[in-house]
């Protein structure tokens, strides 16, 4: 019980810090009604995960700096995302049942029509993926229910999470907002993180679609560890990416056609 309460407090503290540039120990102590020594212990734990950064007198969020709107995120690193999408498409087979994440990188799975199978079943909460597959393909499409989150440009609510238990997902293609130096994968949204974690638990094969530059820039909500994926599809083979892939025993596939195990 005590462990669960602490985990919930740490999650709430992460969210609170993420909304502010700098927070003092005294402020956190008052906000969460806990002793300053407990605050310092929590800060050390968050800092150890690479989520926050300790500064004199307090703490600041160490999040990956990205624009806030989906439209702004969509046009960032477009060529890198397209290369990742084309590589990911090579893992698709006829009649696959797949889940496609709501992130701007995962949606690039369909950027090269000539690489795609003729028959797929798509399960997704992403509005761009639903629209693209409906207009450009004859795929079976299952749109997950829930409230629309405009920031994520997808259906994202607890109803979305509950609906996932109905599906047998063969392959899941997910993105991440950031990757810590220890291999933690993170999101800037708590509900998005829970959706991703649920998919990871249910899918038979899991593919991470993420640029190498995201390493060392974690967002505020951890949803999984890199070791939860069988394959990591990235845009380039940096030393950090190769090291993490080897340590986490995940297959790294890059646009340079080099594969590391």
pLDDT of residue 121 exceeding 70, the answer is yes
Q: What is the pLDDT of residues 5-23, one digit of tens each?
A: 787 888 788 777 776 667 8
**Who has greater pLDDT, 63 or 193?**
193
Task: Report, as an integer, the average pLDDT of 165-180.
Answer: 95
pLDDT of residue 3 exceeding 80, the answer is no
CATH topology of domain 2-61: Arc Repressor Mutant, subunit A (1.10.10)
pLDDT of residue 219: 84
Q: What CATH number should be reported for the domain whose range is 70-260?
A: 3.40.50.1360
Task: Report, as an integer, the average pLDDT of 233-254.
Answer: 94
Q: In the chain, where are the structural domains located?
A: 2-61, 70-260
Q: Give whole-number Cα distances, 234 to 99, 167, 175, 176, in Å.
A: 19, 27, 10, 12
- Any idea which residue has 């926050």 for tokens? 52
Q: How confident is the model at residue 1 (pLDDT cuts 50, 70, 90)?
A: low
Residue 227's nearest CA partner among 254, 204, 203, 246 is 246
pLDDT of residue 204: 97
pLDDT of residue 40: 87
pLDDT of residue 83: 93
pLDDT of residue 35 exceeding 50, the answer is yes
Task: Report, as an integer, the average pLDDT of 99-126.
Answer: 94
pTM for the model stands at: 0.74
Q: What does the mean pLDDT of the chain come to? A: 88
How far is Cα 136 from Cα 126, in angstroms, rounded to an integer? 15
pLDDT of residue 119 exceeding 70, the answer is yes
pLDDT of residue 136: 92
Task: Report, as an integer, the average pLDDT of 217-222.
Answer: 85
Q: What is the pLDDT of residues 48-94, one digit of tens each?
A: 766 677 877 678 766 545 445 677 777 677 888 999 999 999 999 99
Which token pair is 18? 């993420």
Contact criterion met (CB below 8 Å) for 60 and 52: yes
Other Cβ atoms within 10 Å of 94 Cβ, number:
8
Which token pair is 247? 């340590």
- Give the contacts of 259 (CB within 8 A, at least 6 positions apart): 251, 252, 253
**Who has greater pLDDT, 6 or 119?**
119
**Who has greater pLDDT, 49 or 39?**
39
How far is Cα 144 from Cα 197, in angstroms, rounded to an integer? 16
Percent of the chain with pLDDT over 90: 58
Residue 22's nearest CA partner among 50, 49, 48, 61 is 61
**13-18: long-range contacts at Cβ-Cβ below 8 A with a sequence spacing of 24 or more?**
13/42, 13/46, 14/46, 14/51, 14/52, 14/220, 14/221, 15/190, 15/220, 15/221, 17/46, 17/52, 17/59, 17/60, 17/61, 17/220, 18/61, 18/63, 18/188, 18/220
pLDDT of residue 261 exceeding 50, the answer is no
């Amino acid at each position: 019980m005590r462990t669960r309460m602490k985990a919930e407090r740490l999650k709430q503290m992460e969210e609170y810090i993420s909304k502010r540039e700098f927070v003092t120990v005294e402020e956190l102590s008052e906000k969460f009604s806990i002793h300053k020594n407990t605050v310092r212990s929590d800060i050390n734990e968050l800092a150890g995960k690479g989520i926050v950064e300790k500064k004199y007198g307090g703490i600041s969020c160490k999040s990956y700096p990205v624009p806030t709107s989906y439209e702004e995120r969509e046009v960032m690193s477009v060529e890198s995302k397209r290369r990742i999408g084309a590589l990911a498409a090579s893992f698709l087979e006829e009649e696959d049942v797949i889940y496609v994440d709501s992130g701007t990188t995962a949606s690039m799975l369909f950027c090269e029509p000539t690489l795609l199978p003729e028959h797929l079943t798509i399960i997704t909460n992403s509005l761009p993926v639903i629209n693209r597959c409906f207009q450009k393909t004859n795929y079976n499409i299952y749109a997950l229910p829930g409230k629309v989150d405009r920031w994520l440009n997808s259906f994202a609510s607890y109803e979305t999470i509950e609906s996932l238990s109905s599906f047998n997902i063969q392959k899941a293609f997910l993105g991440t907002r950031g990757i810590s130096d220890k291999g933690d994968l993170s999101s800037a949204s708590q509900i998005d993180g829970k959706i991703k974690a649920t998919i990871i638990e249910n899918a038979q094969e899991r593919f991470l679609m993420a640029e190498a530059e995201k390493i060392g820039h974690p967002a505020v909500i951890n949803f999984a560890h890199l070791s939860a994926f069988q394959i990591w599809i990235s845009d380039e083979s940096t030393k950090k990416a190769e090291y993490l892939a080897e340590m986490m025993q995940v297959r790294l596939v890059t646009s340079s056609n080099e594969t590391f195990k």
